[in-house]
Structure 1
Amino acid sequence: MDLLLLPLLLIAVFYFLLIRPQQKQRRQMAEMQRELAVGSKVMTTAGLIATVAAINEEDDQVELEVSPGVTNVYVRRAIARVIDSPVTDDEISVDTPEGEADEAMAEADDATPDAAEKKPENQANDAESR
């Protein structure tokens, strides 16, 4: 009787430690892929980061926009994870008007020393050390 109990116990432990977590992960992945929305930023299993441009439910494919105007078609299972949720135009808010942002960038550029001004000093120091 004890000899039969040990193999059954090992099978139960194997199931709860290995098989069940994999099933849970597979369900979560399938749910994430089912809930994809246009505009979501995603990463594929190959590491490509892109934005979902279109979803073809019939063929189970997604069209990913890699850069503006450049799209690729992938099977839905190739999506490894969603990086962020889709952003709609209503959610976008701009805190700084464009003119003020440009002025702030110009001031920041004026505050940093030019690399060209530092370069001759570094070259002179290098020549002296040789």
Structure 2
Amino acid sequence: MFVSTAYAQTAAPAGGGGDMLVQFLPLILIFVVFYFLLIRPQQKKMKEHKAMLSAIRRGDRVVTGGGIIGVVTKVGSDDELTVEIAENVRVRCLRSTVNLVLAKTEPAGKSGGDAAPAATPEGEAKPADTPAAGGIGKLFGRK
């Protein structure tokens, strides 16, 4: 006849555990790169932002999430602030909506009296020399 008999071949022995490691190595490397370039810096930034929010005091000049700039006049309960955005115009906002602290006041113990923001001759509050307070000034090369 014209049909030949086909015989099945035996399977090759399975490779050791090293073969699996070589297959997953690119995925592991991608995860490591994502961790150091994305996840870790984001966690650090969130930690700094949380510390900045917990350090807000009366007299600090802040920028809210909606872009409103004002001075904190009262620190209420856990997460409530009263911010004066214009003369005799005060709004209550959540502490978590504050994006940036532009100017920090000195602690009451250092000045010996009521904490108030230091003012320049133009009447603008001076930005403090803290990393969180440098925000917009850093973008334009100011210290």
| TM-score normalised over the length of structure 1 | 0.64
How far apart are residue 93 of structure 1 and its match?
9.4
Q: Give yes or no for contact 2:63–2:102 (8 Å, CA) kept in 1.
A: yes
Deviates further, 78-87 or 7-16: 78-87
Unaligned runs of 5+ in 2: 1-20, 107-114, 122-143
Task: Kindly provide the CA deviation profile for residues 24-76 of structure 1, in whole angstroms up to 9, marking residues without a partner as x.
Answer: 11111111110001001111111100000111133x11110112221101100
**1:49 to 1:57, Cα distance in 2 relative to 1, 3 A:** same
Once superposed, what is the RMSD of the aligned Cα atoms?
2.2
Greater percentage in helix: 1
1:11 aligns with 2:31: yes
Which entry has the higher C-alpha Rg, 1 or 2?
A: 2
Unaligned 5+ residue runs, structure 1?
95-130
Matches within 5 A, 1:109-120: none
- Rate the CA distance shift 1:90–1:17 in 2: closer, same or farther, 3 A: closer
Cα offset for 1:6? 1.5
Matched with 1:34 is 54
The SS at the match of 2:83 is strand
- Is 1:69–2:88 an aligned residue pair? yes
Identity, % of aligned positions: 28
Q: 1:20 aligns with which of 40, 44, 59?
A: 40
Pairing 1:83–2:97 present: no
